[in-house]
Amino acid sequence: MDCRVLSCGTFNFTRNLGGNSGQDTIIGRKYSHFRAGSFCMTIRSGMKSYRLSELSQSEADGLKARPRINFSSIFNLVQPIVDDVRSRGDAAVKDYTIQYDKVEVQNVVENVSELADPELQADVREAFDLAYDNIYAFHAAQKAAERTVENMQGVRCKRVARSIASVGLYVPGGTAILPSTALMLAIPAQIAGCKTVVLATPPTRDGSICKEVLYCAKKSGVTHILKAGGAQAISAMAWGTKSCPKVEKIYGPGNQYVTAAKMILQNSEAMVSIDMPAGPSEVLVIADENASPVHIAADLLSQAEHGPDSQVVLVSVGDNVNLAAIQEELNRQCQSLPRGEFASKALDHSFTVIAHDMIEAISFSNMYAPEHLIVNVKDAEKWENYIENAGSVFLGPWTPESIGDYASGTNHVLPTYGYARMYSGVSLDSFLKYITVQSLTEEGLKNIGPCVATMADVEGLEAHKRAVTLRLKDIQAKELLTA
């Protein structure tokens, strides 16, 4: 068995190179990996670097793999919580809040209309107000005009939008408060016209609601706030309790236990839908020699600071990108970050790939399907149409990912873990359901009826056929009477 130690940041990796598959063990956490080889090098004991032209297809595929999550073991931990909340309701939620958050709450759910407006500093309030306006404007513009299509004479079809009546919004509060997520989830629900909007977020240490989250919730039309986090909060919204309304769809990011609860409950008797599966935050930055190393490092760290399992990838276009300067900036900036330890651990399992040109760079990005894609190259806008898989894209040197996280107007609740290949981020449509409507005149049935009768006959569905032919006979009889 060939084992090599790659020094990366502040931790050492021992990588098993003895076969086509295996695991890296990093400070007790296991991650998927690929077959390493002579193409692997390190940049000043920093992010590992790989040249795409030297990778086999299987090795390139390995680079897109995310950390393995052992959901079977997590499901075993979460299922009892789901069942307990279903059985004991508010009492179970209170008990788990004491157990996990070390807080005892008097009221599990607060009616937002009965809560006083929180006091915020003027600059903080103004920042949230500006973000609200931009997010509202972008999502309101997503309303589709209702159109009726007459496919043939007398056959009219249309699609109408209806809001989901009751929705649950999960706003994490573990290692950081996230009032911006409250805006991202509640504003499209407000525009859609959802009648019941439950926002779940862990309580503060004194059992109250984070004042910034409360401000955003009140401004965005939230009706109830559930003072709980984790699987117990998801369960309470899915089943409903004495104080928490049952919701029909649950949205929002969260840790692996929150994700597991969402996955369990969408396949349960709770009859609840979810927005998308979720994994750790991630960013992929495509940079050429024109990009500032300072800016690249800042963008990579803006995702790395979310947590030690964040995914950070740099794609260098050509050999003229100063990777050493970028690594120096990563080290320098990371040292001064309040969440630098999280960022450092995330960088430990991050990497750089060197692409021959932009076509190869974007091809790799499309394969990776990142949550956030930053394209920091000359004339970045001309590459937009080549991008197929990404949650949200940030074009050009003056578009940091942080802008989309907070206030540009786009939504920051996005698919991770490669799900950008088949999922979209949260939008106005996430809070709507669409109903198709068709209306026929007698002439319309005469025009389309024979076609339907023939197709029903082919499929052997006689009742389907008769539903048409009996009406056609009535029309024929009426026409004979009036002839």
On whether 405 is known to bind a ligand per the annotation, the reply is yes
φ, ψ of residue 150 in degrees (nearest 5):
-95, 95
Asked whether 472 and 446 are in contact (CB, 8 A), the reply is yes
Other CB atoms within 10 Å distance of the CB of residue 290: 14
- Out of 212, 282, 329, 371, the active site residue is 371
Which residues, other chains included, contact 363 with Cβ-Cβ below 8 Å and sequence gap of 6+?
A: none
On whether 170 is known to bind a ligand per the annotation, the reply is yes
What angle do the packed helices 71-88 and 256-266 form, to 10 degrees?
70
Q: Give the whole-angstrom CA distance, residue 336 versus residue 349.
A: 20
Q: Compute the residue count for the chain.
A: 483
DSSP string over 175-216: SS--HHHHHHHHHHHHHHT-SEEEEEE---TTS---HHHHHH
- For residue 380, the surrounding DSSP H or E stretch is none
On whether 232 is known to bind a ligand per the annotation, the reply is yes
On whether 255 is known to bind a ligand per the annotation, the reply is yes
State which amino acid sits at residue 251. Y
On whether 412 is known to bind a ligand per the annotation, the reply is no
On whether 442 is known to bind a ligand per the annotation, the reply is no
Q: Give the whole-angstrom CA distance, residue 155 versus residue 53.
A: 56
On whether 257 is known to bind a ligand per the annotation, the reply is no
- Out of 372, 384, 388, 401, the active site residue is 372
Asked whether 257 and 229 are in contact (CB, 8 A), the reply is no
Asked if 372 is an active-site residue, the reply is yes
Asked whether 392 and 368 are in contact (CB, 8 A), the reply is no
On whether 299 is known to bind a ligand per the annotation, the reply is no
On whether 303 is known to bind a ligand per the annotation, the reply is yes
- Residues annotated as catalytic are 371-372
Annotated binding site for NAD(+): 170, 232, 255
Annotated binding site for Zn(2+): 303, 306, 405, 464
Annotated binding site: 170, 232, 255, 281, 303, 306, 372, 405, 459, 464
Annotated binding site for substrate: 281, 303, 306, 372, 405, 459, 464
